Chain A
Amino acid sequence: MAAEPIIHIKDVHKHFGRVQALRGVSLDIFPGEVVVILGPSGSGKSTLLRCINHLEVCNSGQIIVDNIVLKSAENINAVRREVGMVFQQFNLFPHLTVLNNITLAQRVVRKRSPKESEDVAMDLLKRVGLESKWESYPAQLSGGQQQRVAIARALAMNPKIMLFDEPTSALDPEMIKEVLDVMTSLARDGMTMVVVSHEMGFARAAATRCIFMDEGQIVEQGHPDQLFDHPTQDRTRLFLSKVLQS
């Protein structure tokens, strides 16, 4: 494993009013790792993910992404260029076609030419199996297709890290697989990924590390086989017994 972590999180606290979302989280993520974060709702896993690209600003502690300390507006944008994010609700731009959804940020942020950004977009659409949909609008696509477009949109910026915030939670069961397949193939290609998800199958198949969070803290972490089959903490065992039952 590479010596230098690409994401360095140190003693991060975050509260929303009186609610304490993160209580001193420290975590190093190395290039090429696929980290799946598990935990009950309200455990702070989404907040942690959103702190990494500064959609939430942590109250104390330090986050270093790709050797850039998150501080001023400029370096936040510098970090965000390197970090792709996929949301639970897809958040595609409804007024733009699939193609323009993927080319917009390339043009205005990366300053690519229309031709170049369209070539990138079509390559990525092919990769997620939607090259025939380039002219469609988001509302014409199924949830699974929208999420695959959202993944392509994030990849178009050539990020070094991909964050997934419950990417399959808003999907019908039969569409989950098509999204997970794309994510698994990304993981296999060596993308550094941080995934908040309840998909145990994906965690086992693709994750290099699983993290269990509860009440704003990391309770336990380890290789998925170890964490799922031999959890050391009672809290983890209780959670897993409930999740794996269903």
Chain B
Amino acid sequence: MPAPKFTKYFGRIFAGREDRSDPSRGKNELKLIPGNELPSQLDAWWWLVAAVAIIIVLLITLQPDPYWHILRFVRDGLAMTLLLTIISFIFTLLVGIIGGLGRIAKNPVIYFISTIYVEVIRGIPLLVQLIWWYFAAPVAIRTFGEWIGFAPLAEYRSNAFVLAVVGLVICYGAYMSEIFRAGIQSIAKGQVEAARSQGMTYMQAMRYVVLPQAFRVVLPPVGNEFIMLIKDTSLVSAVAMADLTRRGREYMAANFNPIETWTMVALLYLIMTLFFTRILVWFEKKKGYEK
């Protein structure tokens, strides 16, 4: 019997997995050697993305009622989930860089503030934080506005989207600060000394020498945070945001078909996370081996 295609195919998948466990992976120096590039083809795990996509398409086409109806019903929630994730992630990166620099700052005030921020935020569940921002923060802002007699604050009308983004960014920013701190600290001290001995200021040394190298180091954990963020946006459904989870709940409440609804919602989250994981792996390879 000739070797079936099946074996060949899965052989490639396992080869792909071995590549990932190769000890040379993740070592910056080795990655930086041009001519060592991995083949630019897509990695084998895209088949999983394709499999989930096929399941979704099959469900929609073979059972349009209810799957096609569910998809149509939740698609604005899907868009909201993606929008929340991307906007929150951009701000999270900014907070992470600033927080990470603060955590290694020599200035005791900056170090103290950033450490308190990280420690306090990491100690409170994200759901509680989101609820606090949605229900408590607007009241606090209005009370404060009345107290200082400043009308725009006293008449503050809450915006659910903004408060959801604020909640996600502040929480994820704390974790991101620690990732960036570790990334910056992983760059050898001699790099800063070489930059500074040429007359660069601390910020110039960070910007041109340390951070570009640290970004490569933190790419995998930062990508992880992005995937976690996609999933954690589902918590905003608790604070009146019409995201994918909330739209799913609304559909179930109206149509009483929990199995179909939550299977579809789960598949939609799954394909998003699988898809972005593949994109991140591709991006990591591209960045790591880039000339």
Residues of A within 8 A of B (CB): 53, 55, 73, 77-78, 80-81, 83-85, 87, 89, 91-95, 104-105, 108-109, 137, 139-140, 150, 153-154, 157
Minimum CB–CB distance from B272 to chain A (whole Å) comes to: 32
Cβ-neighbour of A80 out of B28, B191, B197, B209 (below 8 A) = B197
Contact A81 B199 (CB under 8 A): yes
Closest to A108 in B: B204
Chain B residues within an 8 Å CB radius of A137: 32-34, 291
Contact A80 B193 (CB under 8 A): no
Minimum CB–CB distance from B202 to chain A (whole Å) comes to: 9
Contact A91 B194 (CB under 8 A): yes
Chain A residues within an 8 Å CB radius of B196: 55, 80
Beyond A104-B208, A108-B208, A109-B204, whether A94 also contacts B198 by CB under 8 A is no
Decide yes or no whether B216 CB sits under 8 A from chain A.
yes
Complex-state Cα separation, A87 to B29, whole angstroms: 19
Chain A residues within an 8 Å CB radius of B30: 139
Complex-state Cα separation, A94 to B196, whole angstroms: 16
Closest to B202 in A: A73
Decide yes or no whether B265 CB sits under 8 A from chain A.
no
Closest to A138 in B: B32
Closest to A89 in B: B190
Chain B residues within an 8 Å CB radius of A105: 195, 198-200
* Residues 220-232 of chain B, each 1 if its beta carbon lies under 8 Å from chain A, else 0: 0000000000000
Complex-state Cα separation, A139 to B33, whole angstroms: 6
Sampled A-B contacts (23; CB under 8 Å): A55-B193, A55-B197, A77-B200, A80-B197, A81-B199, A84-B197, A91-B190, A91-B191, A91-B193, A92-B194, A94-B28, A94-B213, A95-B32, A95-B213, A104-B209, A105-B198, A105-B199, A109-B200, A137-B32, A137-B291, A139-B30, A139-B33, A140-B33
Decide yes or no whether B263 CB sits under 8 A from chain A.
no
Contact A87 B190 (CB under 8 A): yes
Decide yes or no whether B201 CB sits under 8 A from chain A.
yes
Minimum CB–CB distance from A41 to chain B (whole Å) comes to: 18
Minimum CB–CB distance from A106 to chain B (whole Å) comes to: 9
Complex-state Cα separation, A150 to B193, whole angstroms: 13
Contact B197 A85 (CB under 8 A): yes
Complex-state Cα separation, A180 to B193, whole angstroms: 23
Contact A157 B209 (CB under 8 A): no
Beyond A89-B190, A108-B204, A109-B204, whether A95 also contacts B199 by CB under 8 A is no
Cβ-neighbour of A109 out of B193, B198, B216 (below 8 A) = B198
A55-B196, A84-B198, A140-B33 known, 8 other contacts, Cβ within 8 Å = A55-B197, A73-B201, A77-B201, A91-B193, A91-B194, A95-B32, A105-B200, A137-B33
Contact A83 B197 (CB under 8 A): yes
Chain B residues within an 8 Å CB radius of A108: 200, 204, 208
Decide yes or no whether B212 CB sits under 8 A from chain A.
yes
Within 8 A of A (CB), among B179-209: 188, 190-191, 193-201, 204, 208-209
* Residues 140-162 of chain B, each 1 if its beta carbon lies under 8 Å from chain A, else 0: 00000000000000000000000
Question: Ordered nearest first, which 7 A-B pairs have the shortest CB separation?
Answer: A91-B194, A105-B198, A81-B199, A85-B197, A91-B190, A80-B199, A109-B199
Minimum CB–CB distance from A30 to chain B (whole Å) comes to: 22
Contact B194 A93 (CB under 8 A): yes
Complex-state Cα separation, A129 to B163, whole angstroms: 60
Cβ-neighbour of B191 out of A78, A83, A93, A140 (below 8 A) = A93
Closest to B196 in A: A80
Beyond A95-B32, A108-B200, whether A87 also contacts B208 by CB under 8 A is no
Closest to A73 in B: B201
Beyond A91-B190, A108-B204, whether A77 also contacts B32 by CB under 8 A is no
Minimum CB–CB distance from B291 to chain A (whole Å) comes to: 8
Minimum CB–CB distance from B217 to chain A (whole Å) comes to: 11
Closest to A50 in B: B193
Minimum CB–CB distance from B64 to chain A (whole Å) comes to: 52
Closest to A80 in B: B199
